[in-house]
Amino acid sequence: ATPTALLVGTGRGAQQGILIKGPEVLEASTGIDAVVLDKTGTVTTGAMQLTSLLSARQWGGEYEDTELLRLAGSLESASEHPVAHAITNAARESLGSRSGSLPQPENFRNYAGTGVSGEVSGHRVLIGKRRLMGTAGVELPSEVQNLVTEAESRGSTAVLVAIDGVFAGVITVSDTVKETSAEAIEQLVRLGMEPLLLTGDNAGAAHRVADEVGITSVVAEALPEDKVATIRALQSEGKTVAMIGDGVNDAAALAQAELGIAMGTGTDVAIAAADITIIRGDLRSAADAVRLSRRTLRTIR
């Protein structure tokens, strides 16, 4: 039989906006000494904004800014990713009343952690990391490498666009740290957990966020399988790990960790894989959840 105290504990959680999957989760929460945090949408708001757009016109490209943004925005309207929302929103804004004309892409494909592809208005559009362009055989002007590196060192996320297999432009996006994230991480550290920032984004963007919230360990450019491997590596060092995330790409890592915590503002896949869901997406609730577990178990033992 489940001790009454555990049921009371999960009930208290619900009142605080912390949904705990079952009473056994409280026990899993007690020995945690490492906490791995996804960046976008977990530590940051996930409300990415387009910060610059550079068409490849100067390298002889065919598409000027408006058409580039229209094709990119159309393709990204099929993606749930924060990078995609930034691009689609900017396209809608630039098109204004004509934004009804943002066409649905056909043959949409998502490449986890690297980008997307599909057909818009009869053109093949590809958006994502340099790696993705390389795989697709898209040739890049040599200056583009420097542009990307420079944007990344400023803490931005840069994605490249190719249309019909030809490089068409660079788009940069970025978002801001949630107001409560730094305080939440301080609380987690005080509870005895060592924080690590884990992201599919570039190292520059990752370090900008890590510095801002007081995290010194960073793993960037991580594909979903690298996220799982990072959790496993900590576990094989003898750590008991909590993972906090919101994305489809976090689901396997959330399941691998001893304690998976999903943002209620995140994807259904992440919520399904997690042990605890934080309704309001305020990271301080993760510290509240750990405190609640410890307090509840003390009353039993």
In the complex, the residues that contact Mg ion under the rule CB under 5 A are 38, 40-41, 246-247
Q: Give whichever of 13 and 260 is closer to ligand ADP, judged by the CB atom.
A: 260
From CA 91, how far away is CA 40, in angstroms rounded? 21
Interacting partner of 37 out of ligand ADP, Mg ion, none (Cβ under 5 to 8 A depending on kind): none
| Residue among 20, 29, 88, 46 nearest 265 (CA) | 46
For the chain, strand residue ranges (E) read 18-20, 34-38, 49-55, 106-111, 115-120, 123-128, 157-163, 166-174, 194-198, 217-219, 241-245, 259-263, 276-278
Q: How many CA atoms lie within 13 A of 159 on its CB side?
A: 31
Task: Select the binding partner of residue 201 from ligand ADP, Mg ion, none (C-beta < 5 to 8 A, by kind).
Answer: ligand ADP
Give the chain's end-to-end CA distance (angstroms, integer).
15
The residue among 6 and 148 lying less far from ligand ADP, judged by its C-beta, is: 148
The interface region with ligand ADP, picked from 47-55, 58-66, 108-116, 261-269 by CB under 6 A, is 108-116
The answer to whether 210 contacts ligand ADP (rule: CB under 6 A) is: no
Segment 75 to 94, residues that bind ligand ADP, using CB under 6 A: 76, 79, 81, 83-84
The helix (H) or strand (E) run that includes residue 8 is helix 4-15
Q: By CB under 6 A, is residue 156 in contact with ligand ADP?
A: no
| Interaction of residue 187 with ligand ADP, rule CB under 6 A | no
| Closest approach of ligand ADP to the CB of residue 23, in Å | 31
Tokens matching residue 301: 């033992």
Contact 53, 169 (CB under 8 A): yes
Q: What is the full DSSP assignment across 57-108?
A: GGGT-S--HHHHHHHHHHHHTT--SHHHHHHHHHHHHHHGGGGGG-PPPEEE
- Segment 21 to 80, residues that bind ligand ADP, using CB under 6 A: 38-40, 76, 79
Q: Going residue by residue from 228 to 247, which x/- string records binding to ligand ADP, judged by CB under 6 A?
A: -------------------x
Residue 38 a catalytic site member: yes
C-beta of 301: minimal distance to ligand ADP in Å?
Answer: 37
The Cα–Cα gap between 87 and 90 comes to 5
Q: Which two tokens stand for residue 64?
A: 């000027």
Instruction: Return the closest-CA partner of residue 257 out of 25, 12, 22.
Output: 25
Q: Is 128 in the site for ligand ADP (CB under 6 A)?
A: yes
The entry of ligand ADP, Mg ion, none that residue 83 binds, CB within 5 to 8 Å by partner kind: ligand ADP
- Alpha helix locations (H) across 114-193? 130-135, 142-153, 181-190
Residue least distant from ligand ADP (Cβ): 200
Could you tell me the smallest distance in angstroms from the CB atom of residue 163 to ligand ADP?
14
Residue nearer to ligand ADP on the CB measure, 73 or 200: 200
The verdict on 175 binding ligand ADP (CB under 6 A) reads: no
Which residues contact ligand ADP by CB under 6 A? 38-40, 76, 79, 81, 83-84, 113-116, 127-129, 157, 159, 199-201, 247, 249
Which are the catalytic amino acids?
38
